[in-house]
Every structure is written in structure tokens, then in C-alpha cells.
Amino acid sequence: MIGRVRSMRSDIISQPEQRITSLLGPNHTLSLIGVNSMAKPTVSPLHVGDRFGRLVVERLNHVDTRFNRFWVCACDCGKSAVVYQGNLRNGHTRSCGCLQQDIMRAMQTIHGGRQTPEYRTWRHMAQRCENPNTRGFKNYGGRGITVCVRWRRSFANFLADMGPRPSPFHSIDRINNDGNYTPKNCRWATKSQQRRNQRPQFER
């Protein structure tokens, strides 16, 4: 089982840094190392417990004849993977392969006869901003909130920037409540994360 995933496909790596952060949560910024900073590779050693996306480093598996290190990593989904250190560092590998599967699933607008949650989110977002007959329009389109052109143009763009919804408890959140639906201003967040975000500074 462990050796099987060595040649796994890359997860999407073309996302802006902010999107990856929101996909993986605020504590997972290590996964960004190398994604947009190929010019200055990190030289610090890997440590047991380091997190790269959904993967947490567990132990060294082996070193090959060219001194490449391969690490056993535990994936958030429960599987293990042996991953070449360089692929962890450069952001190429961020799961056992399950993240790629989740993105492929979310790319379908229909899954199991129902619209995927990501597609529903995308559609409702546009309606809140553009259809005056939609409940809630006054809090969105009525306040001048818009969906950026890149997302309005295609669901695929929206999904590439946002990533799959992490869980049924997450919904799309505008970080600045007066800002628009754009890759920079949106993330998947739970209700409690959204409340925390809205609370004024002095309360914390």
C-alpha cells in the first residue's frame, strides 16, 4: 500500500498562494513552500511532524543511490504515502492522491445525480449578486457586491482557485465582508471561523 503511491499525480499547483492557504486551512502554510518560490529553494531539513498540504511527515523511508530522501507521510484521509522529499518541498505532492481525486470529483457539476456542492456554491453566489429576485440579493448585489470576471466566466476557474470544499460544514466566506467575490477575498470556512473573523479586534 505504501509503495503504490510513489508515482502519484501532482495536485493542482497553479493556484495563487492565498487559495492554497484557504483550501488547507490557516495552519498549513508549509504547503506553500516552493509553490511560488522556486527561485529560492528551502535548505532547512525536513522534520517528523512537518505538514505539506494533507501530508504529515512520519519517518524516513529510504535514501536512494543519488541521495534522494523518501519519507513516509500520513495523509489526512487515513492513507500513507512514500514521497520524495523534493516533491514535498516544491508543493508538487500535497496528498496521497486523494486531493486530486476530490478536485476531479468537484469538477463535475453533477455527481451522483446531484449538483456538486462547489457548483451549487458558484451558481448561488452569482444569483445573490445578480438576480434581484433572489432572497438575500439586497445584502449582496444590492450592496454592490460582485463576482469577479474570472469566476463569472467559468466554474472551472472558480474551482481551481477555491479548491474542493473541505467538508459539508464549510461554506464560501468573504474575508472582507464589504469586498467582492474574488480569489483573494474568498476562502472556505466553517460557521465558527466566519463568526470569529467578523468579531471586532478589541473583543479578542
* φ, ψ for residue 95, nearest 5 deg: -160, 175
Tell me the window of 45-53, 66-74, 90-98, 194-202 that interacts with Zn ion (CB under 5 A).
90-98
Of the listed pieces 60-68, 72-80, 132-140, 159-167, which binds Zn ion according to CB under 5 A?
A: 72-80
96 interacts with Zn ion by CB under 5 A: yes
**Is residue 75 a contact point for Zn ion (CB under 5 A)?**
yes
Q: Determine the Cα–Cα distance for residues 118 and 41; give it in Å rounded to an integer.
A: 34
Nearest-angstrom CA–CA distance, 134 and 199: 27
State how far the Cα of 20 lies from the Cα of 160, in Å rounded to an integer.
Answer: 10
Residue 196, all three cell numbers: 470569529
103 sits near Zn ion (criterion: CB under 5 A): no
Q: Any contact of residue 83 with Zn ion (CB under 5 A)?
A: no
> How many other CB atoms are there within 10 angstroms of residue 181's CB atom?
21
Q: Supply the minimum distance, in Å, between the C-beta of residue 96 and Zn ion.
A: 4
Number of residues near Zn ion (by CB under 5 A): 6
> Binding to Zn ion by residue 30, rule CB under 5 A?
no
The 8-class DSSP code of residue 158 comes to H
The three-class DSSP label of residue 128 is helix
Q: Which of 2, 48, 63, 77 binds Zn ion (CB under 5 A)?
A: 77
Residues that bind Zn ion (CB under 5 A): 75, 77, 79, 95-96, 98
